[in-house]
Amino acid sequence: MPDRVSEALARLALVEPALCAFHEVFDTFAPVGSPLPFAGMPIAVKRGERRSHRDALVAMGCVPIGLTTTPDGSTPWQMWGRNSRGLTRNPWNLDRTPGGSSAGSAVAVASGVVPLATGVDGAGSIRIPAAWCGVFGLKTTSAERAAVGVFTRDPALLATYLGVTEVSSPTAVWSTDLGFAEVDDEQASIAWRAAAPLSPRPVSLVLGDPAADWFAGRCGPNPALDSVFETADLLLTPTTPGPPHGHDGPGARMNTALTWAFNLSGHPAISIPAGFDSDGLPVGLQAVARHGREADLVAAALLTSNAVEVAPWPP
C-alpha cells in the first residue's frame, strides 16, 4: 500500500469516530503508474457522484480511499451527512453541521484525512460545506444545475485539477447580499477583509431572489450577471448568509441564498477560506467567474490564500 494512502487511512481511523465523514472505506487499492499529475495521492469520493468524474481523477493518479457521507433522506433539510454511526459533524464544532450535501467530503479534507475530495454542487452543496469547514470548494461550469467539483486545503491542487498553467490577475467586484439576501454583518466583514488582495470595488447589484426560478426549474442566462461580467472577471460575495447551524436544522434561514443563483446560470464558483468568526467557526468568501473561466477562480484562491491560514482540525 502506498505510504500516502497508509497515512490517510491512519488519520481517518483517528478522526472518524468523532466526525462520521465516510459511508464506506475501501480495503483494496490499485497500483498507480507514474508520472501522473496526482500520482499516489489519496482522495475521498462523494457517495453517488458521477463515475466519470471519479474515473478522470483516477486517470490523473488519484487513489480513492472511500465514499463520503451524504444526506440519507431522514430529514427534509439537505444539510447533513450520516453513516451507520451517526451524523457527520463539523470539525470545528461537533455540535454544528458541516453543511451539505457534500458533507463528508468537506470534513475529510478539513480534518486532514485527504488533500482532495470530490463533490457535487446542486445549490451550494460544495461551496457551503467548504465555507463552514474552512477549506476551498470549487464548482465547475455546467449547463445543468448540478456541477461537479472538488474540496482541498491547497489551492495549487486546484490548478492541477483544472489543468491551469498560467494564472492572471483578475479584476473583481463585490456584493454583500446580491441585492436581496439577509447577511450577518460578521460574515460580510470577514469575507470583505479576505477579499482585499483582489481589490474589489463595490457594485450595486440586484439579482432578485432566485427561489421562484429554482423551484420552477428555470435555468439559463441572467442579464444582471451578464452585465457584471462585462466589466469584471470576478463577482465576490460572502459564501453563506450566516454561520453553521446546529444539527436540529437551519430554521427559517435560507443557507443557499448567496449560492444557488449561480447553479441556475451555470457560472463556475468557489468558496475560499476567509477566516473565523467570534465563535471560532470558519467563514467563506465566494468568487464567481465567467463561464469556462475557472482559471480566474484559481487565481482568486492563490491570491487570497496567503492572507488566511487553512489549518486541519486537530483531534
Residues forming the active site? 46, 101, 125
Report the side by side order of strands in the sheet with 147-152.
22-25, 63-68, 42-46, 116-121, 147-152, 136-139, 269-276, 282-289, 234-238, 172-174, 201-202
**Is the torsion defined by CA of 145, 149, 152, 155 positive or negative?**
negative
CB crowding 90-121: b at 16 or more within 10 Å, else e: bbbbeebbbbbbbbbbbbbbbbbbbbbbbbbb
DSSP 157-222: HHHHHHT--------EEE-SSTTT----HHHHHHHHHHTGGG--EE-------THHHHHHT--S--
Closest CA to 118 of 142, 101, 131, 97: 101
Dist CA 258 CA 73 (whole Å):
24
Query: Looking at this protein, which amino acid is placed at residue 143?
Result: A
DSSP 246-274: BTT--TT--TTTTTTHHHHH---EEEEEE
Which residues are CB-neighbours of 295 under 8 A, at least 6 positions away?
162, 164, 166, 167, 168
Residue 84 burial (C-beta neighbours within 10 Å; 0-12, 13-18, 19+) = exposed
Q: Please report, for residues 84, 135, 140, 275, the alpha-carbon distance to residue 174 in angstroms, rounded to integers and kept in the order given.
A: 42, 21, 21, 18
* Run of H or E including 296: helix 294-305
